[in-house]
């Protein structure tokens, strides 16, 4: 298992170069110590197989990165027939048993040089693939054998096993290695070549690649999968005449014309623009694009228009990637982890994209990947949109005009179309402040209660362009959709009034359960909230307690809940009517929590809330 996992890690790093450490650990379900040991072992292997020691893997706190020449490693891996990974072992077992009708388990275990337990797991996996084609795998006293396999079922099984093997090696490796013979161990390749003419894949791949680049939009992965399907189906007895012609075909258009008459129990409609299925799919994509763009522009209150370039980009991306039948689980995990913060910040935008993708494409295997990738396209567009936006910014600093003028010039270099003015704190006019889309100040202006205010230290403004741009993008986004950040956290459903609890721990559990029901936390975060109470009191006075976890482990999204208890909870001899539960991965909650805490410090205000509680009142008061 250890060696298999380490080879898989190598392929992932060769393809993605840099990966998130936590994602890799979760993908293989291993600890930090184990991943560190694996990387140490892999580095030893890399050094042993490279004279110049130019290949190396570096691990830091958050990322694992490969440095060096990937081709050298790919070539070395291809030449190593001593250890086959699971996908190729399944191919070996299937080909061997199909050829000999019945093979002893001992012979297969010895041939593959693996443990009996690992072999049993391989048989379970192979059984699942065979079952899809109504084929049974038997273990008899004579060995392993299959039920009768038709030509069609045999081809379908070979296609699935081969594609699984190739996709494990990832698209980058396949394209880099270039030739089909480099993608298999020598034994497997020679077997597939002699019985299934696998060597014609190289020609077919380049013909389809050339055809699609000139005629239709198709991803490299789809070209690879389609080429494998055609390669095996050409070996069917009904396609013998077409197979005989392949050696004499010179140009891709000849090949495309020839395979229009192919016998195939699979869809290759994607190759033919005039096919009914493809035309239907194009209609669905067009409907999706119209609905998506309208919903996004509606979200932005029709103040923003998505340009034709990004629409075409999204359309092409869907056309080339939608029909991939195999999805990359690892990249899905990477997207989920690395885009989680953007999903939180642009939650409404994400929901518009995700709900539309689900509505139109849920029957396709890779619709989840599609949601993330369209989200990335829109975020990139929005980022460039902000840089070119014609909007009004005011910069405010204390003292003379020097600092605010310096910030103004700095922002002018970033936002060429923006109208940027500067003002000293002593010259502030509240009416004038509200006329700006954004007021950026290096000092606190909270007394003016401005929804367009962004307080940033001057050093951050001048030294961290990317971080500042990110914050400005988020602030403008909230303004465009007409929602303050705090409003997206505290909602009516986050509030319960006139509840009861037997003690403070029961009250904290109720806060945790509400946070869990609303999707902010996993169940384990509730234990963390209780653990904090055991170590540090969360009672802050004036009938108020603010329970939260020891850390952000178990937090899915930022969230706040408020529970009002009609009868006060005894909190170490202090009466408490309000429990405010917090789940936080970022500082989104800080502004609203500060507002709640400030108002709850007024005892008369609190006593009035106790007498006259309502969800609407809480939303109105605490969201300003």
Per-residue pLDDT at 487 exceeds 50: no
Q: Could you give the residue numbers annotated as active site?
A: 548
CA-to-CA distance for 109 and 389, rounded, in angstroms? 65
CA-to-CA distance for 119 and 108, rounded, in angstroms? 8
Q: What percent of the chain has pLDDT over 90?
A: 31
pLDDT tens for 49-99 read: 776 667 888 887 778 999 887 777 777 776 555 678 899 999 999 999 999
- The pLDDT of residue 500: 92
The number of CA neighbours under 13 Å toward the Cβ of 352 is: 20
Average pLDDT over residues 103-116: 91
Nearest to 397 by CA among 385, 410, 387: 410
Per-residue pLDDT at 189 exceeds 80: yes
The number of CA neighbours under 13 Å toward the Cβ of 478 is: 20
CA-to-CA distance for 270 and 273, rounded, in angstroms? 7
pTM of the model: 0.62
Angle, in degrees to the nearest 10, between helices 32-48 and 21-28:
100
- The pLDDT of residue 276: 43
pLDDT tens for 364-409 read: 877 888 999 999 999 999 998 888 888 888 888 765 546 667 777 8
Q: Is 67 helix (H, G, I), strand (E, B) or coil?
A: strand
Q: What percent of the chain has pLDDT over 70?
A: 87
The number of CA neighbours under 13 Å toward the Cβ of 225 is: 23
Regarding predicted confidence, which is higher, 319 or 155?
155
When pLDDT is cut at 50, 70 and 90, the band that residue 278 belongs to is low
Average pLDDT over residues 104-121: 91
When pLDDT is cut at 50, 70 and 90, the band that residue 173 belongs to is low
Average pLDDT over residues 166-181: 70
When pLDDT is cut at 50, 70 and 90, the band that residue 197 belongs to is very high
Per-residue pLDDT at 490 exceeds 90: no
Q: Which long-range contacts (CB under 8 A, 24 or more apart) does 31-39 make?
A: 35/59, 35/64, 38/2, 38/5, 38/6, 38/9, 39/9, 39/64
DSSP assignment of 15-50, as one string? HHSEEEHHHHHHHHT--HHHHHHHHHHHHHHHHHT-
When pLDDT is cut at 50, 70 and 90, the band that residue 619 belongs to is confident
- The pLDDT of residue 113: 87
- Of 147-156, 274-283, 378-387, the one with minimum mean pLDDT is 274-283
- The pLDDT of residue 265: 81
Per-residue pLDDT at 13 exceeds 50: yes
- The pLDDT of residue 624: 44
- The pLDDT of residue 457: 65
- The pLDDT of residue 483: 63
Per-residue pLDDT at 277 exceeds 70: no
When pLDDT is cut at 50, 70 and 90, the band that residue 274 belongs to is very low
The gap from C-alpha 357 to its chain's centroid, in whole angstroms, comes to 14
- The pLDDT of residue 182: 77
Per-residue pLDDT at 323 exceeds 70: no
Q: Is 561 helix (H, G, I), strand (E, B) or coil?
A: strand
| CB neighbour burial string for 570-589, b if at least 16 within 10 angstroms, e if fewer | ebeebebbbbbbbbbbeebb
When pLDDT is cut at 50, 70 and 90, the band that residue 482 belongs to is confident
Average pLDDT over residues 556-577: 89
- The pLDDT of residue 463: 63
């Amino acid at each position: 298992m250890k060696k298999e996992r380490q080879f898989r890690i190598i392929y992932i790093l060769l393809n993605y170069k840099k990966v998130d450490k936590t994602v890799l650990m979760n993908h293989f379900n291993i600890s930090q110590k184990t991943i560190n040991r694996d990387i140490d072992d892999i580095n030893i292997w890399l050094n042993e197989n490279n004279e110049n020691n130019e290949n190396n893997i570096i691990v830091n706190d958050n990322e694992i990165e490969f440095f060096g020449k990937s081709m050298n490693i790919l070539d070395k891996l291809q030449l190593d027939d001593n250890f086959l990974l699971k996908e190729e072992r399944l191919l070996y077992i299937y080909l061997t048993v199909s050829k000999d009708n019945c093979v002893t388990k001992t012979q297969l275990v010895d041939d593959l040089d693996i443990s009996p337990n690992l072999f049993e797991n391989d048989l379970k996996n192979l059984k699942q693939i065979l079952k899809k084609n109504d084929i049974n795998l038997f273990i008899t006293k004579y060995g392993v054998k299959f039920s009768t396999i038709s030509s069609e079922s045999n081809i379908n099984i070979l296609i699935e096993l081969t594609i699984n093997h190739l996709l494990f090696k990832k698209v980058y490796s396949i394209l880099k290695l270039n030739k089909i013979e480099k993608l298999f161990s020598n034994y497997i390749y020679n077997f597939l070549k002699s019985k299934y003419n696998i060597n014609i894949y190289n020609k077919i791949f380049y013909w389809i690649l050339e055809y699609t680049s000139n005629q239709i939009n198709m991803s490299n992965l789809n070209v690879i999968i389609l080429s494998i399907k055609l390669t095996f189906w050409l070996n069917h007895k009904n396609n013998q005449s077409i197979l005989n012609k392949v050696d004499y075909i010179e140009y891709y258009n000849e090949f495309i014309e020839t395979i229009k008459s192919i016998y195939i129990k699979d869809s290759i409609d994607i190759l033919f623009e005039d096919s009914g299925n493809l035309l239907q799919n194009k209609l669905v994509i067009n409907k999706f694009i119209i609905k998506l763009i309208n919903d996004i522009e509606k979200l932005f209150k029709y103040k923003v228009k998505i340009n034709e370039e990004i629409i075409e980009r999204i359309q092409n991306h869907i056309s080339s990637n939608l029909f991939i039948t195999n999805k990359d689980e690892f990249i899905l995990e990477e997207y989920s982890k690395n885009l989680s913060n953007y999903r939180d910040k642009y939650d409404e935008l994400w929901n518009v994209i995700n709900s539309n993708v689900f509505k139109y494409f849920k029957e396709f295997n890779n619709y989840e990947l599609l949601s993330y990738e369209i989200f990335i396209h829109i975020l990139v567009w929005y980022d460039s949109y902000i840089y070119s936006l014609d909007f009004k910014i005011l910069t405010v600093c204390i003292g003379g005009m020097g600092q605010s003028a310096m910030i103004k010039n700095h922002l002018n270099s970033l936002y060429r179309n923006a109208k940027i003015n500067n003002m000293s704190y002593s010259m502030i006019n509240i009416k004038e402040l509200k006329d700006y889309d954004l007021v950026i100040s290096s000092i606190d202006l909270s007394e003016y209660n401005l929804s367009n205010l962004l307080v940033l230290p001057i050093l951050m403004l001048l030294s961290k362009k990317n971080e500042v741009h990110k914050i400005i993008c988020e602030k403008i986004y909230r303004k465009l959709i007409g929602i303050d950040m705090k409003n997206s956290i505290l909602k009516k459903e986050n509030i319960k009034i006139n509840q009861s609890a037997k003690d403070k721990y029961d009250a904290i559990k109720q806060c945790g359960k509400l946070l869990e029901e609303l999707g902010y936390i996993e169940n384990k975060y509730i234990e963390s909230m209780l653990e904090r109470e055991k170590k540090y009191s969360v009672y802050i006075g004036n009938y108020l307690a603010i329970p939260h976890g020891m850390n952000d482990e178990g937090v899915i999204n930022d969230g706040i809940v408020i529970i009002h208890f009609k009868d006060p909870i005894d909190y170490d001899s202090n009466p408490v009517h309000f429990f405010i539960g917090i789940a936080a991965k970022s500082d989104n909650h800080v502004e609203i929590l500060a507002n709640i805490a400030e108002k709850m410090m007024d005892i008369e205000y609190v006593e009035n809330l106790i007498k006259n509680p309502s969800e609407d009142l809480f939303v109105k008061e605490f969201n300003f």
